[in-house]
Amino acid sequence: MENKELIAMAKEVMQRAYAPYSHFRVGAALLAKDGRVFLGCNVENASFGATICAERTAVTKAVSEGVREFEKIAIVASSGEYAAPCGICRQVLYEFMPEGSVVLWSKDEGELERPLRELLPMGFRGEDIK
């Protein structure tokens, strides 16, 4: 699947974000190795620690459907600037796609794709700590 298709899906789902506190909407489109795409948006909460990022929403939806292997994720933010995943999301993504890539979009700069390992160079998985 082309990055532009994933970016378009991430833009669409970003509109569904629940962000009444930050007003910072994020959408994510997660491409599974089997070709399916799982969408996620951020869902804020008055108790900020209960907020879930778009990336983790997409991963959670996929895992709940029995999918655990991914190729890439596209992330779009309402600011129109690149919005890289937070540290927790980088680690969660690494659990399921250590060889995957992250596609970011900016209205001024276009798309930017980077290997997840570049964003989280010392990531680890359960099998690494046994």
- Residues 54-98 have pLDDT tens digits of 999 999 999 999 999 999 999 999 999 999 999 999 999 999 999
Q: Kind and range of the H or E element at 90? A: helix 87-96
Asked if 57 and 40 touch (Cβ cutoff 8 Å), the reply is yes
Point out the residues that are catalytic.
Answer: 55
**pTM given for the model:** 0.95
Helix-, strand-, coil-residue percentages of the chain, each rounded to 5: 35, 25, 40
Interval 45-54: pLDDT, tens: 999 899 999 9
* pLDDT (0 to 100) of residue 122: 87
**pLDDT tens per residue, range 6-39:** 999 999 999 999 999 999 999 999 999 999 999 9
Sorted by where each starts, the structural domains of the chain and their CATH numbers stand as: 3-128 (3.40.140.10)
